[in-house]
Amino acid sequence: MLTYVDPASVEGLIPQSISGETREPHLHVSFPTLEDTPALNRRLTNDLGKAVQSYTIRTKTADRFPAPEYNVDWQLTAASPDVVGVRLRTGEFGGVRWANSTRTLWYDRPADHVLGSADLVNNLDLLSALVKQHLDRDPAVDSDVVRPDPRLFDSLDFNSRGDLVAEFDDYQVAPGSVGRIAVAIPRKDADALLTPFGRRARIAVEQAKPASLPEIVTMRGGGGHSVPNIVPRPRGVPSEPEHRADCAVLKCVALTFDDGPGPNTEKVLNALGDERATFFAVGVNAAVEPRELARIRERGHLVANHTWSHRDLTTMPENRVYEQLSRTQSLIEGATGEAPALVRAPYGAIDPKVSEVARELGLSLVQWNVDPKDWRDENAGAIASRTLAEARRNSIVLLHDTNPATADAIPEIVDGLAARGFTLVTVPELYGSASMTPGHTYDAGGRASVSRRGQPLP
């Protein structure tokens, strides 16, 4: 079973995001940076920037439903004073099914040097032979495609026993129906394969403080099937703010912030001052700094669910939708002491399956009716101008605390709305005594009758 470092235990770790919340094709990329790993930060930023650019060009003229999607999330495989490992998990949805791939980069801290997974081993021919021996045991797997190619062995890691684990992408060595495949080379066999840096990497993995929720991986030759133990939480109830606004009397607007927390969240909080807002947190980012969620709550804001890795939920089977939502519920509840009562589906994509899982978890679905498209803009003044021009009574405004320009725009937005007589509130305050019902979808001042996709909602 693969294990990963608890990101909250790593000093100087900063989550980064590239996103297009309402863009079609869909796009969301998350990756880590650290304060003292300059070469690694440059490599991740450059590689993922190029991947985003390539995907955008390839899908520029795509106009189909469901929309194509490109998603990257990450785990730390090691984070010692000597070695850092970053596992990038990429998913591409082409309209029918997801194709997932993994790539693990390793960083030599003393040398400030980034290495690929193949640099962990000294003999790709021997590694290929050992991997083929294990894969040959499964008739569903085509071991003939295994060859001593660094591109094939671009995701090597170590499990808790010190075995060398080689991961393969979907459709790389077997049909998609087989699922994700990894081969574990026993530690005693792997010893002769490892380079000096490979041995240092294994030590770093063994020293790591593991995260509490390992990922699902199908192991061949050295392990079994692992499923995260996610326990359903009690249904959330929106917290009552200390001074609840009466939006039946006042002109209310709800500012909402997606995709954080991130490096700009604190600036957004400071700019809001005593005004209240709703923050829809992405689990992979929130896991880095759960204390930031507590700070958001302590300042009078509402913390809500924006899934674990920001994938379009309508493209996923029900069990994966449940995992995306419940895993984030558990994280937020652990950080704030409250299970969220609200969720925003990535890209606003909702279908009856998503509504049913949300109902089961006690979550009301929140859309928006003002979108200043701040994610695509570096001009704070333009973001503020569009927000102020479109805001109406009972509006729900979509913003992103991951965008530096958005953080810069908040003072002008807050002052401009106040000058127009608006009161800033959390989303539940818009609905007053009518409250919000789990599994139902809300956009502005009342229930929506249809989703953004035209699907009937409960």
Residues known to be catalytic = 258, 400
Amino acid identity, position 134: H
262, 13 contact by CB (below 8 A): no
Backbone angle region of 191, left / alpha / beta, with phi > 0 → left and psi within -120 to 50 → alpha: alpha
Are β-strands 26-34 and 69-79 bridged in parallel, bridged antiparallel, or unpaired?
Answer: parallel
User: Tokens at residue 289, please?
Assistant: 């700094």
Amino acid identity, position 211: A
For residue 103, what are the CA distances in angstroms to 116, 169, 259? 9, 9, 23
Residue entry with tokens 């797997």? 141
Closest CA to 332 of 366, 281, 295: 281
402, 17 contact by CB (below 8 A): yes
Closest CA to 202 of 194, 192, 212: 194
Determine the Cα–Cα distance for residues 306 and 345; give it in Å rounded to an integer. 6
Within 10 Å of residue 378's Cβ, how many Cβ atoms? 12
31, 72 contact by CB (below 8 A): yes
